[in-house]
Structure 1
Amino acid sequence: MHFEYNLEEIHLAAKYILDSNPHKVVLFYGEMGVGKTTLIKEVARSLGVEGATSSPTFSLVNEYRIAPHEKLYHFDMYRLKTESEAYDIGIDEYLYSGHWCFVEWPENIPNLIPDEHTKVKIFILTDEKRQLTID
Structure 2
Amino acid sequence: MVYQIYIYDDINITSPTFPIINEYITDNYKIFHYDLYRIKSHKELLEIGIDSYLNQNALHFFEWPNEFKSLLPKPNFEINLDVIDESRILKIITNHEKE
1:72 aligns with 31
Secondary structure of the corresponding residue to residue 26 of structure 2: strand
Report the identity percentage. Answer: 30
RMSD of aligned Cα (Å): 2.2
Distance 1:106 1:56 in 2: 14
Deviating 4+ runs (over 6 angstroms): none
TM-score of the aligned structures, taking structure 2 as reference length: 0.74
1:86-121 deviation per Cα after TM superposition (whole angstroms, max 9, x unaligned): 112211222231200000000121221113532222
Secondary structure of the corresponding residue to residue 93 of structure 1: helix
Name the larger-Rg structure: 2
Structure 1 gap segments, 5+ residues each: 1-17, 19-42
Q: Equivalent of 2:76, from 110, 113, 117?
A: 117
Structure 2 gap segments, 5+ residues each: 95-99
Name whichever of 71-80 and 47-56 sits farther off.
47-56
Q: Equivalent of 1:88, from 34, 47, 52?
A: 47
1:55 aligns with 15
Contact 1:49/1:65 (CA < 8 Å) preserved in 2? no
Q: How many residues align?
A: 92
TM-score of the aligned structures, taking structure 1 as reference length: 0.57
Letter in 1 for 2:4: S
